[in-house]
Amino acid sequence: MECDHGCGWCRGRSQHPHPWGGTFGDRGRSGPDWGDCHPAHREKLPEIFAATSNLNGNGELTGVHWIEESGFLEEPILWTNTHSIGAVHEAAIQWRQKNKFHSGGLAYDFAALPVVGETWDGRLSDIHGFHVRKSHVMQALENATSGPVDEGNVGGGTGMVCFRFKGGIGSASRVLESGFIVGGLVQANFGLREDFRIRGIPVGRKIPDLLPEMHGILPTSEGNSILVVIATDAPLLPFQLKRLAKRIPLGIQRTGGMGYNSSGDLFLVFSTAAIEPPDSQGVSRLAMMDNDAIDPFFQAVVQVTEEAIINALVAAETMSGINGNKVYALPHDRLKQVLAQ
């Protein structure tokens, strides 16, 4: 089967079904550096099982200490650029307060630990200008809808660079034989050109030109970071979700990612399976997958991560940014020729 963008590299992909019963943020193709997803119904923010992991830790994903401690995800997930973490974090709390997504009878009787991730977009963006505002975050959260996910130069991925081509947002999914779904979203901003591979083919070495044109900034070659969120509707407990998270680097490596020193490779995995409320004794009764049945989920995580990264690349478009800097898109025609050899 061909991928959504006609490049003919994909192996039997699904048509992007997603397991989150909630929403993805509205990501205008020329929008500012924000984007969000939240596995939530509009009237409440439920607790769902989650886990985190990382490959190289030169980055930030807030709220992970409580996720690791409790095993629950209780907040929307928002992605932005490195220097907008604070603005997005504050706005997320204000959104929760505005919509009364909290327990307790008083407006101030709650605490929130927003989940905000970042990658560095200073090659194309005026990252020191602090252009991401509260209104942008509110717009992302209020306009979040279900359905297909925009990819490429959108949301938090607007200014990102991947393997020295234009990067950004990518998504992919798999429907397992059991009927459960594994879906993934990436913000791809990493990689050396010479490391870039598809199906084991050294695409980056066969397309060595079209390098970024940088002015007023060091032409660093490593890229900086990738954020990955994996979701499933299977009843997996936090320790099982942690096991899925540890497989994400295998998908990154299949495209040529190495977790270099400057990279923040940060991962979050959650399950949308319903958790029954506790009884009068505080006991919740749970369903869980048998560990002997988990291998197809491992395989799906690796494939979804790899595919989402490549989808980000083939969806992205050439972009010019601050100081006349320019980053070229992966050329589809030449990619087809390389893969056909």
Kindly report, residue by residue over 274-330, the tens digit of the pLDDT. 998 999 999 999 999 999 999 999 999 999 999 999 999 999 999 999 999 999 999
Instruction: Please write the tens of the pLDDT for every residue from 74-118.
Output: 999 999 999 999 999 999 999 988 887 766 556 666 788 999 999
Name the token pair of 136.
């942008």
Give Cα 53 to chain centroid, integer Å.
Answer: 13
pLDDT at 1: 31
Q: 281 — phi, psi (to 5°)?
A: -95, 5
Angle, vertex CA 149, rays to CA 92 and CA 129, nearest 5: 45
**Among 37, 180, 20, CA closest to 116:** 37
225, 233, 271, 292: the active-site residue: 225
- Asked, for residue 256, whether it belongs to a domain, the answer is yes
Residue 225 annotated among the catalytic residues of the structure: yes
When divided into structural domains, the chain yields a total of: 1
- Asked, for residue 7, whether it belongs to a domain, the answer is no
- In 3-state terms, what secondary structure has residue 147? coil
pLDDT at 109: 67
- Asked, for residue 229, whether it belongs to a domain, the answer is yes
- Asked, for residue 2, whether it belongs to a domain, the answer is no
263, 271, 292, 320: the active-site residue: 263
Amino acid found at 173: S
- Asked, for residue 270, whether it belongs to a domain, the answer is yes
- Asked, for residue 129, whether it belongs to a domain, the answer is yes
pLDDT at 102: 66
Q: Which domain holds residue 330?
A: 23-275+288-340
- Asked, for residue 13, whether it belongs to a domain, the answer is no
Residue 265 annotated among the catalytic residues of the structure: yes
125, 233, 265, 271: the active-site residue: 265
- Asked, for residue 114, whether it belongs to a domain, the answer is yes
pLDDT at 307: 98
Residue 263 annotated among the catalytic residues of the structure: yes
pTM recorded for the entire structure: 0.89
Regions in the chain scoring below 50 on pLDDT? 1-16, 18, 20-34, 39-43
pLDDT at 145: 85
CATH of residue 296: 3.60.70.12
If you count them, how many residues does the chain have?
Answer: 341
